[in-house]
């Protein structure tokens, strides 16, 4: 054979083998990745070839599916009271990746979860009937908190302390998820929503940690009582007024110069929200003890799933003494979500035991049979029952005689803690208004935390009692008296 022909044949053979190897690699190794690629149009066609399963609140679906026209995507997602429940459902879009519960349970809701397949589905290689997600949300509590927040920018979370069930998850301003579902209109809606400076797509209840201000004083008080620094909420503390921050020429003062904060007891210090008491107390305890208590309540947890992944609330480390003092009043680099501060009140209200918060009670198959139930969440002993009882009592004093009077409800034992957190360099921007609370009546209990980032109120009128406490009151009233 001619030498040139022989070489050409060998080269051609090698090319053929290379093509065969590449084809084999693509088919057997890269095939699944290509099939699952979000830009693969076939996936969207398959997902929206039939109605999706539903997200359910109090026995009623708050989602649905509607037939489309003129599209290869036969159905699109629809929402009932979309703005009210957006922080719970998120959205399932023909153009964008699903979020919130729609994202967490996407496979269940579109019928591709392996647990949904029957023997007949396997034999005929057809997609299973989709399942449903049954939530713990109480529609009355959700609506009460949403209406009370109104046009304010903020969030609210309500928890059943005994079960950990999330009764309300509200974020405002909200948006209508239906605007993002259809491919032909989603792009314009997405641009409008992402350009909005108020960030309506942000789930402020679960995913926007902010300085918690004086609501964090409950954590410091719990650490002081549990460590034995003080044995009673009525024991006088060692608290100068004003308090010189260690290692600096700066003094920490109280909001009101007339408040009886010098050597005040924990009860009085919570009642008047004394910065000097809790700043000094944090230094006395040391940052390690404060952090240990904060972490028991849920701070610094990077895997807090409800089942939507919540952003971690943070108690900082590596602080000097003056920064530790500021952390004791919920400033410096301390951050918390409304979920986290609701967990603090829930643990205190539940005699010191924190039940893991969750907003899904069960997931079901297409026939309504439970695939998984979440009625046995984990629990953590945060503080002793005695400490919890003392803090409950002190929180009631805050509402009955202190800075949280706007949370009072006739016939309900209400305890709470206000907070006004500095915002911006040298507090140049509107402060954040906080309120965390619990209510008990008729054998029932609820814990509620609210943050208001922005409102139409004058700066001088921004306070936890003025802006956030009425929202908590509305939610508690709906949960306990509704």
Q: Which residues are catalytic?
A: 214
**Strand pairing of 166-172 and 153-159?**
antiparallel
The answer to whether the beta carbons of residues 160 and 481 sit under 8 Å apart is no
Q: What CA–CA distance (Å, rounded) separates 365 from 128?
A: 9
* Structural tokens at position 414: 């209400």
The answer to whether the beta carbons of residues 432 and 215 sit under 8 Å apart is no
Burial 26-46 (b: 16+ CB within 10 A, else e): eeeeeeeeeeeeeeeeeebeb
419 exposed, middle or buried (CB, 10 Å; 0-12, 13-18, 19+)? buried
Q: What CA–CA distance (Å, rounded) separates 299 from 212?
A: 12
Q: What CA–CA distance (Å, rounded) separates 480 from 482?
A: 6
């Amino acid at each position: 054979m001619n030498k040139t022909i022989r070489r050409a044949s060998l080269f051609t053979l090698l090319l053929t083998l290379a093509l065969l190897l590449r084809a084999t690699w693509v088919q057997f190794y890269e095939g699944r990745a290509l099939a699952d690629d979000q830009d693969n149009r076939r996936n969207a066609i398959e997902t929206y070839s039939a109605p999706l399963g539903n997200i359910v609140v109090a026995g009623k679906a708050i989602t649905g599916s509607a037939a489309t026209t003129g599209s290869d995507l036969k159905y699109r997602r629809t929402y009932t009271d979309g703005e009210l429940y957006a922080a719970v459902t998120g959205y399932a879009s023909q153009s964008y990746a699903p979020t919130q519960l729609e994202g967490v349970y996407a496979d269940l809701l579109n019928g591709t979860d392996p647990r949904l397949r029957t023997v007949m589905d396997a034999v005929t290689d057809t997609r299973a009937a989709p399942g449903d997600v049954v939530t713990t949300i109480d529609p009355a509590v959700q609506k009460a908190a949403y209406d009370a927040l109104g046009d304010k920018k903020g969030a609210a979370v309500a928890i059943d302390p005994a079960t950990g069930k999330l009764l309300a998850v509200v974020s405002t301003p909200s948006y209508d998820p239906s605007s993002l579902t259809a491919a032909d209109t989603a792009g314009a809606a997405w641009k409008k929503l992402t350009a909005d400076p108020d960030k309506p797509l942000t789930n402020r209840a679960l995913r926007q940690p902010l300085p918690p201000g004086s609501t964090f004083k409950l954590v410091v008080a719990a650490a002081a009582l549990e460590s034995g620094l003080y044995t009673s909420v009525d024991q006088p503390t060692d608290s100068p007024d004003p308090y010189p921050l260690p290692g600096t020429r700066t003094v920490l003062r109280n909001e009101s110069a007339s408040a009886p904060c010098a050597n005040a007891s924990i009860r009085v210090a919570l009642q008047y929200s004394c910065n000097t008491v809790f700043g000094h107390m944090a230094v006395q305890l040391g940052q390690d003890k404060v952090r240990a208590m904060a972490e028991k309540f849920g701070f610094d947890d990077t895997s807090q799933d409800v089942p939507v992944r919540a952003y971690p609330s943070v108690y900082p480390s590596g602080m000097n003494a003056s920064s530790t003092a500021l952390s004791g009043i919920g400033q410096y680099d301390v951050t918390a979500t409304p979920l986290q501060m609701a967990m603090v009140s829930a643990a205190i209200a539940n005699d010191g035991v924190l039940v893991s918060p969750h907003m899904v009670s069960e997931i079901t198959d297409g026939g309504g049979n439970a695939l998984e139930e979440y009625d046995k969440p984990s629990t953590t002993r945060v503080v002793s029952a005695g400490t919890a009882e003392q803090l409950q009592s002190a929180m009631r004093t805050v509402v009955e005689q202190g800075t949280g009077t706007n949370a009072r409800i006739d016939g309900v034992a209400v305890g709470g803690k206000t907070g006004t957190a500095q915002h911006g360099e040298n507090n140049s921007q509107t402060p954040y208004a906080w309120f965390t609370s619990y209510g008990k009546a008729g054998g029932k209990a609820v814990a509620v935390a609210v943050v208001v980032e922005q409102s139409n109120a004058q700066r001088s009128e921004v306070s936890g009692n003025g802006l956030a406490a009425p929202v908590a009151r509305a939610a508690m009233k709906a949960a306990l008296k509704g």
